[in-house]
């Protein structure tokens, strides 16, 4: 990315800061007809079993699952901030990347605070990451090379951006969550734009093996985050009988709809640098139900 373009992004961040305290209308109460997650994204819609739920149970399912999504993404942002604080130590303060990443850190910390406030606003009780999630997340940001970490974080950012688009455009979505998603989409748009350009220095010269590695890295991170969204505990909270069985149905259903609703821009990104080939395409189809 040209220096002038990065400076333009920095200027927008400084001149037009979006503060969750004023941008999000926290004082608007949820109405009975509001939904917290577009129905097409909840883990049970589309199944015959979903029609047996009461309206309250359907609303509560959306509330619990959107809380889990926000919590998971805030957790991943905290991990990326841990990496960025380490990475900027290698840069000089007059470096334009250093300046942009400082602005990104400021915005990412605000996002974490906003997600935490939104979770509290919804009286949410998110389920913590597993030990495996914690180990893999911290290993990635502490020990993986710079290109691998930026590629991993970009995959997660693009997932969050797609979810945000669905929340913003959902006609019945609770207005507070619409504005949370809008703020996040606006600022993440700059972060995604910068990171894509940053990674071109690696993808442009990558051969078959390296492109395959990057493709699997994106796949793994998308799969990694997806496994944090649908949780067995949620179905117990809804008062459903046999929550283990319901979880299995929901998890299988969500895998299918995730491939349909949440992968479009990620697939386009991977395709741009030739990440789909004989050694990777089968895995995307198998594990993410991607149409590649």
- Helix (H), strand (E), coil (C) string for 28-70: CCCCCCCECCCHHHCCCCCCHHHHHCCHHHHHHHHHHHHHHHH
In b/e form, how buried is each residue of 122-159, taking b as 16+ CB within 10 angstroms? bebebeebeeebeeebeebbeeeeebbbbbbbbbbbbb
Q: Which CATH number fits domain 3-7+33-288: 3.40.50.300, 3.90.1300.10, 1.10.620.20, 3.40.640.10?
A: 1.10.620.20
What is the DSSP code string of 192-217? HHHHHHHHHHHHTT--HHHHHHHHHH
Average pLDDT over residues 169-182: 96
* Mean pLDDT, residues 132-150 taken together: 96
pLDDT tens digit string along 187-239? Answer: 999 999 999 999 999 999 999 999 999 999 999 999 999 999 999 999 999 99
**What is the residue-averaged pLDDT of the chain?**
95
Give the bridge partners for 164, in sequence order.
none
Please determine, for residue 2, whether its predicted confidence score (pLDDT) is greater than 90. no
Measure the CA–CA gap between 122 and 285, rounded to whole angstroms. Answer: 35
Cβ atoms of 285 and 254 within 8 Å: the answer is: no
Instruction: Give the model's pLDDT for residue 266.
Output: 96
Q: pLDDT tens for residues 262-284?
A: 999 999 999 999 999 999 999 99
Confidence at residue 1, expressed as pLDDT on a 0 to 100 scale: 75
The predicted structure's pLDDT at residue 283 = 97
Rounded mean pLDDT, 134-159: 95
How high is the pLDDT of residue 193? Answer: 95
State percent of the chain over pLDDT 70. Answer: 100
Q: Shortest CA distance to 177 belongs to which of 227, 226, 115, 225?
A: 115
Confidence of residue 176 (pLDDT cuts 50, 70, 90): very high
Calculate mean pLDDT across residues 103-115: 96
Q: What is the pLDDT of residues 251-267, one digit of tens each?
A: 999 999 998 889 999 99
């Amino acid at each position: 990315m040209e220096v002038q373009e990065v400076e333009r992004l920095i200027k927008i961040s400084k001149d037009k800061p979006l503060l969750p305290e004023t941008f999000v209308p926290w004082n608007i109460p949820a109405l009975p007809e509001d939904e917290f997650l577009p129905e097409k994204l909840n883990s049970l819609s589309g199944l015959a079993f979903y029609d047996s739920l009461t309206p309250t149970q359907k609303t509560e399912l959306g509330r619990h699952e959107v809380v889990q999504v926000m919590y998971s993404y805030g957790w991943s942002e905290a991990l990326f901030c841990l990496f960025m604080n380490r990475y900027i130590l290698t840069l000089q303060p007059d470096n334009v990347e250093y300046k942009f990443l400082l602005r990104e850190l400021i915005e990412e910390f605000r996002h974490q605070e906003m997600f935490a406030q939104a979770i509290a606003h919804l009286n949410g009780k998110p389920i913590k990451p597993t030990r495996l999630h914690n180990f893999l997340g911290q290993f990635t940001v502490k020990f993986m090379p710079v290109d691998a970490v930026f590629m991993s974080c970009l995959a997660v950012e693009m997932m969050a951006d797609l979810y945000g688009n669905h929340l913003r455009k959902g006609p019945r979505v609770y207005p507070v969550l619409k504005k949370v998603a809008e703020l996040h989409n606006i600022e993440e748009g700059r972060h995604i734009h910068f990171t894509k350009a940053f990674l071109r220095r690696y993808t442009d010269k990558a051969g078959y093996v390296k492109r395959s590695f990057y493709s699997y890295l994106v796949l793994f991170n998308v799969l990694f985050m997806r496994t944090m969204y649908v949780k067995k505990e949620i179905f117990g909270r809804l008062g459903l009988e046999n929550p283990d069985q319901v979880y299995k149905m929901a998890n299988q259903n969500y895998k299918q709809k995730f491939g349909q609703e949440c992968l479009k821009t990620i697939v386009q990104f991977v395709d741009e640098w030739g990440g789909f080939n004989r050694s990777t395409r089968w895995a995307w189809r198998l594990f993410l139900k991607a149409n590649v």
